[in-house]
Amino acid sequence: MMKWAIGMDVGGSKIAGALVNSEGGTCNLETVPTPKDSARSVEAVLAMGQRLLGHASAAACPVLGLGVAVPGAVDPDKGIVLGAPNLGWKSLPLKEKLEALLGVRAELELDVRAAALGAMLTDLARDVRDFIYVTIGTGIGAGIVINGELYRGAHFCSGEIGHCVLVEDGPRCRCGQRGCFEALAAGSAISRRAGRLVAQSTVDSIMAAGSNGSGEIDPREVFKAASAGDPLACEVVHATAKYLGRGLSVLTNVLNPQKIILGGGIVKGGGEYLLGLVRHYLACSTLHDLPKRTEIVLSPDLDGLPVIGAANLILRGDETARRRRPVACETGL
């Protein structure tokens, strides 16, 4: 019998939601801009939940509950958003608010871990027991699945790979450290690297047209220029791929996953060209033949996986979401 749940993904710029079935199918997908005011953004989440419940009722499709993916630190046991800076949420009892208004069970999860749960309902990882979903965009994070179960860590802080230091005394990261994975390979790192190279080089580059006025260059312009054979852009992409390979090698050496799924805006921009380079540099940084046995793929759906995964919190009857933990991480990174 087909089961249904509501999945929602709350981002800094938009809120997406849909009815999701136990085979990963979606219907009534909708998106709305995220209000800038923190209280209004909560109201927008509640309103979307009401609309989706209405769609389910009209279709005589009872839902088991509602899952929400959030871009910030969460305590899934208590259903509290500990900190989501882009939304202005802090110590928000969102689960309680949703259940009180909508009258259905609600669960919360960090967005990148929700994406991993979404992959489990699709062909990306439906039959894979050990895999990692890595998102590379403004930041870098990971959702880790071990033996078919989402791994959250003792304090719900698993997957903060963006803040592993790869280069001593490297560029400053937003977390305050230097040389973090994120500071070397995320979107802003690519923008700065490209802008600096163009400014210092005597060679003309078509990347220059993508400058945002602050000396940085949009990563999309970098990848576009690299695909056209621009030598400076290719240098930037190779440097980025080197750090991505080095960062992913940490996951590969420690966890030995069957599969690594790469998602996020940077992956979308770099495509197969970037993926090929990442595979090469990963092989240079891992033990033995692990890269040959670890499949690395691009996520074809950058937007829908957190929605599907949020619903999967409900559809799987995920007991790990309600196990009590002694302390919760409050970095909000």
Measure the N-to-C terminal CA separation of the chain; round to a whole number of Å. 40
Q: In angstroms, what CA-CA distances link 310 with 57, 76, 108, 140, 267?
A: 20, 12, 7, 19, 22
pTM check: above 0.75: yes
Going residue by residue through the chain (333 aa), what tens digit of pLDDT does each one get? 789 999 999 998 999 999 999 999 999 999 999 999 999 999 999 999 999 999 999 988 889 999 999 998 999 999 999 999 889 999 999 999 999 999 999 999 999 999 999 999 999 999 999 999 999 988 899 999 999 999 999 888 899 999 999 999 989 988 889 999 999 999 999 999 999 998 888 788 888 776 766 678 889 899 999 999 999 999 999 999 999 999 999 999 899 999 999 998 888 888 999 999 999 999 888 776 655 688 999 998 666 899 999 999 999 874 444 443 444 444 444
Element (DSSP H or E) covering residue 38: helix 38-58
Number of DSSP helices (H) and strands (E) in the chain, helices first: 10, 13
β pairing state of 106-110 and 66-70: parallel
Structure tokens at 66: 């509602």
Tell which CATH architecture fits domain 131-298.
Answer: 2-Layer Sandwich (3.30)
- Give the chain's largest Cα–Cα span: 66
pLDDT at res. 321: 42
Quote the CA–CA distance of 43 and 58 in Å, as a whole number.
Answer: 23
The four Cα atoms 142, 145, 150, 156 give a dihedral, to 10 degrees, of -40
Residue 193 pLDDT: 93
Q: What CATH number matches the domain at 4-119+303-322, 3.30.420.40, 3.40.1280.10, 3.20.20.70, 3.30.200.20?
A: 3.30.420.40
- SS3 call for 123: coil
* pLDDT value at residue 82: 94
> Domain spans of the chain?
4-119+303-322, 131-298
The two domains 4-119+303-322 and 131-298 share their CATH topology (first three levels equal) = yes
Q: Note whether 324 and 66 are within 8 A (CB).
A: no
Residues 39-67, buried b or exposed e (16+ Cβ, 10 A)? eebbebbbebbeebbebbeeeeeebbbbb
pLDDT value for 291: 54
Position 210 scores a pLDDT of 65
